[in-house]
Amino acid sequence: MFDRFIPTPSSNSIELGAITLRYYALCILLGIIVALLVGSVRWRRGGGIPGELYDLAIYVIPAGIIGGRLYHLLTTPELYFGSHGHLLDAFKIWQGGMGIWGAVAVGTGTAYLYFRRERSLGFLQAIDALAPGILLAQAIGRWGNWFNHELFGSPTTLPWALKVPLADRPPGYENFATFHPTFLYESIWCLLCAAIILFSPRIRRLRPGNTFLLYISLYCLGRLWIEALRIDRAHLIWGVRLNVWVALISLIISSLFIIKGEKFEKSGATPQDTIPL
């Protein structure tokens, strides 16, 4: 009889001569490529000049990586600073530790600065065009956590449970062998959210900027229950994980902005105001 579980990869890297390629980094890179490919199609359909998207990517991609890493450092400083921290590890992003909240915030802020000059698309139309590609990038990037044996959930015996080696189990969970594969849950959720944005006719009629806000709302809705399953070390506020609070606050704010601003029929907006699919 075959055991029913998702195995944990035996290696998180591949050796090519003197070069070591980390699967975590490769997942992030593949996600960026997919995001650019999907974004470029929507960018052109919205009337944008393709070259501008790649010019934007030169600034936004490094900014997003830096922002994601900074968020991780700020929320888990004990791993890198102080008597028990290792400062040099702060630069080892291939070992994991990227906060999507920081990546989106810093990346969006960088995009806003980029669009302060006149471009073929406005800032709101541009981030709407990029929203589903970002979700696809997140779906792919989460598999890097699988290769790194990290960010899994509470113990479970479900058929799709993730088998975690003893050395990677958190303190207090040594007697459990299989756990919720939260990386898989989040990857599937991001794919579903991207499909909603890409293929729902109603989404095409949203006012500029609201598609991006919808991306934030949908992602945070899923992240709430996924984050609640996780058992990795995290700072707590009133007994609740910090990222649960961040997801909840982001969900409420983005939803309120959509509700307040979404008056398509009354505003007289036309399909030309949005990004066609």
Full DSSP string of the chain:
----SBPPPS-SEEEETTEEEEHHHHHHHHHHHHHHHHHHHHHHHTT--HHHHHHHHHHHHHHHHHHHHHHHHHH-GGGTSSTT--GGGGG-GGGS---HHHHHHHHHHHHHHHTTS--SS-HHHHHHHHHHHHHHHHHHHTHHHHHTT-S-BSB---TTPEE--GGGSPTT-TT--EE--HHHHHHHHHHHHHHHHHH-GGGGGSPTTHHHHHHHHHHHHHHHHHHHHB-S---EETTEEHHHHHHHHHHHHHHHHHHHH--HHHHT--GGGS---
Strand 178-179 relative to strand 236-237: parallel, antiparallel, unpaired?
unpaired
Distances from the Cα of 52 to the Cα of 28, 133, 237, angstroms: 22, 16, 42
Place of tokens 């509470």: 154
Q: Which residues contact 58 (CB under 8 A, 6 or more apart)?
A: none
Instruction: Give the largest Cα separation in the chain, rounded.
Output: 64
pLDDT of residue 265: 43
Rounded Cα distance between 67 and 86, Å, is 20
pLDDT of residue 271: 44
Distances from the Cα of 184 to the Cα of 21, 150, 168, 223, 264, angstroms: 22, 12, 18, 12, 36
Is the pTM of the predicted complex or chain greater than 0.85? yes
Residue 120 burial (C-beta neighbours within 10 Å; 0-12, 13-18, 19+): middle
Which residue ranges of the chain lie beneath pLDDT 70? 1-3, 82-85, 95, 261-277
pLDDT of residue 89: 72
* Tens of pLDDT, residues 81-113: 766 667 777 777 776 778 888 999 999 999 999
pLDDT of residue 3: 61
Nearest CA-CA partner of 229 in 184, 171, 175, 195: 184
Q: 40 and 53 in contact (C-beta within 8 Å)?
A: yes
* Tens of pLDDT, residues 175-190: 999 999 999 999 999 9
pLDDT of residue 72: 85
Domain boundaries defined on the chain = 13-273
Dihedral, CA of residue 138, residue 141, residue 145 and residue 147, to nearest 10:
150
Quote the tokens at residue 39.
Answer: 């974004």
